[in-house]
Chains A and B, each alone.
Chain A
Amino acid sequence: MGMFSGPWTWRRVKSFSYLALAFNTRQLRRLFLGRRDDGGLSRFLENFSAEGMTPLDAAQTEHVLALTRCTYCGLCETVCPLPLDRWPAFARALEHSRHAAADLPPSCPPECRQCEAICPTGVPLREIPAFVRRQ
């Protein structure tokens, strides 16, 4: 148990007391609130929902998994006729979701699905902007 070995400095004693306090508070909340205790979810949402970090439902989880299948092979780029700065967001853009949130450019015709047709892992590329905006 590496957690309890080592010198017992004052800082360490203090940290362990905070841990014990938090643990006991949690147990007491569970005892008295029962099912009404959501394990801190409401406090988490209060802090982070403004930044868009909200829990995903099953369909959204499926969607994120589909998007993360991107292997950065870049084949979508080779078939996209649009100039570089007007690409529809492609899967790498998940890392730059601010850019992905921009609409598909007007010159990206809805019937042109070449990027999706050539993607070896089947990422739903053209749905990324709408997905990012929804979140």
Chain B
Amino acid sequence: MSACPPVFVLGAGLAGTVAACRLAARGVPVRVIADRPGASALHGGGWLLGAAGPLDAAWPGAARHLDAATAFARAGLEALDLRAGTFVLPDVEGARRPCELAPASHAVVATFGPRLGVIDLVPLGHPFAGMQAAGTPIAVDWPPGPDAFGRSFAYVSQRIEAEPALLDGLLAALRAALAGHPVDALLLPPVLGVLRAEAHRRRLVEALGVPVGEALDVLPSAPGLRLHAALSAWRVAAGVETETARVTAIELSPLGVRIGDALRPASAVVLATGRYLTGGLSMHPTVAEPLAGLPLAVPVATNPLTEARREGPYDAGPFATGVRVDAAMRVCGADGRPVHDGLYAAGDVVGGLDTLTSRCASGLALVGGYAAAEAVAAQEGR
């Protein structure tokens, strides 16, 4: 056991990974503890940061950190090849979503119309009609095999990642299908792989001679799997050790995390456990922070039928609650003072912004993770 206990980051989603990798970059010894993927594995592929709107309103310091945080995350998530801009991208169900960052494979399709060929992978058996309305549908007989029917695009992405030879079959099928269709660009469902998706897309562009893009996904989401894989790869590249374990409690004096019967001392703890979905907030019997019983920022109506729904812009309701933080991302008590000098929080577990309606959960995770890491590094004197 080393003399100086490490910083523990609880959660391996976007916020936890950004925080851990930034801490490692600043030379702080850090360990990530997580037992399952974060909600970032459900990411649809388009990134909305919302700094000018909801994010900045909920946390006035956000804009100050935003550029540094996105630059840092984009450098770490090279696998996603994120591009900045103002995009309106179609998802496979036909909804058009505004995005500020998008992977290259999504950002390439900017034109809708009859000259856009929309690929329908017939053997999967779910022709997303909304997506096809973006252009001219082209039926393609791929992937092969009797087991394809009913499978999701994310499953096909996993398979093509494991067996890149399948791409040759897709290329041949696309060539055959495109014989009678002059198109300016191709829109595929997100099936091109996980971490190799961008390389696969470039190969299709070279072979077919037209821009090729993918639609954003619905659940289960291939871009979500890509983000999950890219986050894991980033932690490995940054030299951050990730431990698969379930933390049952955070002890405050002295600071440490409890895993089963063992109490592991920590010099600081970054809480990045997410909201309801990943267990950062428990729902039974009441809404609470389960690891340390931390006070919540936005009170949750105990009976939503009798208590009128507040029409606050983004700062009310059960999806805006979470722990209270100060400007340095330290967890605060009801009196507004830090609960402990070494306890920080980042990501969806932080209250004050309804990330469902504001749709900038990834912005909050990026900025919060980065800011928490900066604050911890300053506390550690690095």
Interface residues of chain A, those whose CB is within 8 Å of chain B, are: 65, 71-75, 77-79, 83-84, 117-122
Known: A77-B151, A84-B150, A84-B151. A122 touches B35 (CB 8 A): yes
A77 to B157, CA, bound (A): 12
- Which of B38, B39, B152 sits near A74, CB closer than 8 Å? B152
Nearest-CB distance from B321 to chain A (Å)? 18
Residues of A within 8 A of B84 (CB): none
Q: Which residues of A contact B146 (CB under 8 A)?
A: 83
> Which residues of B249-303 have CB atoms within 8 Å of chain A's CB atoms?
277-279, 284
Which 3 A-B residue pairs are closest in the complex by CB-CB distance?
A74-B220, A83-B147, A78-B154
Q: Decide if B147 touches A79 in the complex (CB within 8 Å).
A: no
Q: Which residues of B contact A (CB under 8 A)?
A: 35-39, 41-42, 146-147, 149-152, 154-155, 157-158, 219-220, 224-225, 277-279, 284
**B151 contacts which chain A residues (CB < 8 A)?**
77, 84
- Bound complex: CA A71 to CA B220 (Å): 11
In the bound complex, how far is the Cα of B151 from the Cα of A132, in angstroms?
25
Q: Report yes or no: B36 in contact with A119, Cβ–Cβ below 8 A.
A: yes
27 A–B contact pairs at CB < 8 A? Answer: A71-B277, A73-B219, A73-B220, A74-B152, A74-B154, A74-B220, A75-B154, A75-B219, A75-B225, A77-B154, A77-B155, A77-B220, A78-B152, A78-B155, A78-B157, A78-B158, A78-B220, A83-B146, A118-B41, A120-B36, A120-B37, A120-B38, A120-B42, A120-B278, A121-B277, A121-B279, A122-B35
Residues in A neighbouring B152, C-beta threshold 8 A = 74, 77-78
CB nearest neighbor in B for A61: B284
Q: Smallest Cβ distance from B68 to chain A, in angstroms?
A: 28
A84 touching B147, Cβ below 8 Å: yes
**Can you name the residue of chain A whose Cβ is closest to the Cβ of B154?**
A78
Inter-chain CA distance A63–B146, complex, in Å, is 36
Q: Which of A77, A78, A79 has the most CB of B within 10 A?
A: A78
Known: A73-B220, A75-B225, A78-B152. 17 other contacts (CB 8 A): A71-B277, A74-B154, A75-B41, A75-B154, A77-B220, A78-B225, A79-B158, A84-B147, A84-B149, A117-B36, A118-B41, A120-B38, A120-B39, A120-B277, A121-B278, A121-B279, A122-B36
Contacts of A117 in B (CB 8 A): 36
Q: How far is the CA of A118 from the CA of B220 in the complex (A)?
A: 11
Task: A77 to B155: give the CA distance in the assembly, Å.
Answer: 7
